[in-house]
Structure 1
Amino acid sequence: MAPLFSLFLVLILLLLLTPYSLCQLEEFVSIDCGGTSYYNDSTTGLPWIPDSEIMKHGKAVEVQSPNGEVPLQYKTRRDFPIDSRKYCYTLKTEERRRYLVRASFQYGNLEDGDTYPQFLLFLDATKWATVSIYDASRVYVKEMIFRAPSDSVDVCMCCATTGSPFISTLELRPLNVSMYATDFEDDFFLKVAARINFGATSEDAVRFTS
């Protein structure tokens, strides 16, 4: 009788968790910066949206990667003017909910006269990171976990010291209530130091698959 009870309990848990997982999936935001079309990622199945309808500043640029074929979301980037203004994406959030936000940057090959960019990345008025590009083929990723202070947040690029501020992708993921809870999250955010997949047979990133 005990095994049947355990199986019944597992089925109940799955039924309870599935609607929440589906709801959470629908809240995922994946923006292809510089992109012009809607599509589903061939690896994860997650939908990507172009930023052409939500970002009116800067210009879309096709990326020529020295690695040849790259995922669709890295075939374009959005470059912003070289000035002291902040250029921001506004993301809708639920106040006091915890989120992971991820911005990625792949510059691609240098054109004649170009220099690799270095610029600042902000979440609202908080300095998030300095983005320094040194390798044409590398995808640079910045992540943080934060508790939303209001019903929206701004992810901003500005203040280039070399080159032009740019961005390749921007992602927002709501987190379960218990994940990454700290006593200081109203005043501080969590910044990713490293991701290590012990025992992995390859260096491929592990991503959510729908």
Structure 2
Amino acid sequence: MPLPLLPLLLLLSLLPISLSQPKGTLINCGAVVESKIDGREWLPDSGFVSGGGTPKTLNISGLVPILTTLRSFPNIAGRKYCYNVQVYRNAKYMVRTTYYYGGINGPSSPPVFDQIIDGTFWAVVNTTEDYVNGMSSYYEGVFLAQGKTMSVCVGANTYTDSDPFISALEFVILQDSLYNSTDFKSNGLSLVARHGFGYNGPIIRYPDDQFDRFWEPFGETINDSSNANVSVSGLWNLPPLKVFESELTTNQSQPIELNWPPKPVQDANYYIALYFADSRDRVFSIFINSVPYYKDLNVTEAGLVVYATKWPLGGTTNITLTPSSGSVLGPSINAGEAFQVLPLGGSTLTRDVIALERVKESLENPPPNWNGDPCLPRQYTWTGITCSGIRVVSLNLTNMGLSGSLSPNIANMTALSDIWLGNNNLSGPIPDLSSLKILETLHLEDNQFSGAIPSSLGNIDSLRELFLQNNNLTGQVPNSLTGKSGLNLRISPGNSFSAPPPS
């Protein structure tokens, strides 16, 4: 295991705390009308979801409103179902998905399935333990909007036989200062744990947290004492003041040991932020799994956070707070956040993806799983698409019942070597494909294409097969094709070409 990066220390607030409502988009999945819950507007999901699914209602008393409806999707392995939400490009978002099964699909145990954001595998959604305990489950992350939309998808897999589902989806804009030590153009943050230590009340959230992040009680007290006299004015991650009203501490000069995050974590790099504030003189060192994290931390009532951007963890984590030499009082801690650092794998803004979206728009009935990122994750590539990394290298939609036109934007997918669109109901002109310099096969037979054959097809040196029979093409067959060496050209029957003029 490589040595962790040194943690960084920030003492004072950079931004004032605002009490304004969180800004963003709240989606009540499965709902059919708008609703106001705790003063915030929740939208029905029909305008955001692609790939179908069925809205369902749970008739269970005592549920909070957003858990009473959900959207369920067919359990077809390799199929992903996506929510596409308009966002502000280059804005940072807290994204939260919420799940409550309620036995809606019959089996007593909830399904297990995948969760994907902008083509990056985010998490395996497994709500079984929470459901047995009568609770909903949520997954939260921090991601940068790299375009004008973001997609969150649930992916059906072979983990279980039940249909995947989702209850709610939230996009909340975060201020620039939050988590700004992370390179969000290359990474996202997936929440592992966020706790108030020494706190045993209900989850701290909006309005105490202006971004409606959830701060759970840690459920363990070591000489819990009031910390109401501290004067924290806000740290750069803007934790709520309420987390500083209690602390996990000992008044004796002895260590505190915590198993936190509470559950084992997978081998990865983690963003860890620990929050402290105390009006008494406490000096101590912090160790994570016996590795020094910060030495001789002097806690003040102004508040501070110690954080590391990429700390390697795996399995059970032990945090030890050890009083420094000569310290009369023991250590204390108020709150902590831990995120897994997710390397982004999506191809959302590539030229190929933009071109495929235009092709999709030109089709009246695109294939059912053309949702989210076409190439990533690899187990959820679009039907008929073959990718090499994030480049689309072949398009095979033969006999798919497609109708509509073929967008000229297909010519922007310059890594294409094969296009098979035969035996569909595509109509309109054949676009200029001369920019596809490595195209080897072009099958457009048995459609309803009309107009002339573009002579520019003869300029593609690599072209070896061109099948155009059984369309409504007219005009003359270009000499650049009839005289092209090594080309298997099929243009009849089924077209109405005129004879070439006499030489």
**TM-score, with normalisation over the residues of structure 2?**
0.35
Counterparts of 1:79 and 1:51 in 2: how far apart (Å)? 12
Match of 1:51 in 2: 45
Q: Deviations over 1:141-181 (max 9, x none)?
A: 11110111111111001123211111000000011011111
Larger Rg: 2
Match of 1:62 in 2: 57
Counterparts of 1:105 and 1:139 in 2: how far apart (Å)? 6
1:69-148 aligned within 5 A:
69-83=62-76, 84-109=78-103, 112-113=106-107, 115-134=109-128, 135-136=131-132, 137-148=134-145
TM-aligned CA distance change 1:207 to 1:94, over 3 Å = same
- For 2:181, what is the secondary structure of its paired residue? coil
Output the amino acid matched with 1:139. Answer: S
Match of 2:357 in 1: none
TM-aligned CA distance change 1:64 to 1:138, over 3 Å = farther
TM-aligned CA distance change 1:164 to 1:208, over 3 Å = farther
1:191 equivalent in alignment to 2:190: yes
TM-aligned CA distance change 1:63 to 1:205, over 3 Å = farther
Unaligned 5+ segments in structure 2 are 1-14, 211-503
Larger helix share, 1 or 2? 1
Mean CA deviation greater in 46-55 or 69-78: 46-55
Q: Deviations over 1:52-110 (max 9, x none)?
A: 34336100112244xx3011110011001111221100111222211110001000136
Q: Deviations over 1:27-70 (max 9, x none)?
A: 421100001121111xx3111111134336100112244xx301
TM-aligned CA distance change 1:73 to 1:194, over 3 Å = same
Mean CA deviation greater in 28-37 or 175-184: 175-184
Contact 1:104/1:142 (<8 A) preserved: yes
RMSD of Structure 2 on Structure 1 (CA): 2.5
TM-aligned CA distance change 1:170 to 1:178, over 3 Å = same
Counterparts of 2:107 and 2:125 in 1: how far apart (Å)? 20
Output the amino acid matched with 2:28. Answer: D
Deviation, 1:133, is: 2.4
Counterparts of 2:107 and 2:28 in 1: how far apart (Å)? 27
Identity over aligned residues, as a percent?
28
Counterparts of 1:33 and 1:110 in 2: how far apart (Å)? 14
Output the amino acid matched with 1:155. Answer: V
Contact 1:74/1:106 (<8 A) preserved: yes
Match of 1:167 in 2: 166
How many pairs align? 188
**TM-score, with normalisation over the residues of structure 1?**
0.79
Counterparts of 2:119 and 2:106 in 1: how far apart (Å)? 35
1:206 equivalent in alignment to 2:205: yes
Output the amino acid matched with 1:34. Answer: G
Say which structure, 1 or 2, has more relative contact order (CA 8 Å, 6+ apart).
1
Deviation, 1:112, is: 4.5
Contact 2:103/2:110 (<8 A) preserved: no
Counterparts of 1:69 and 1:171 in 2: how far apart (Å)? 22
Deviation, 1:186, is: 1.3
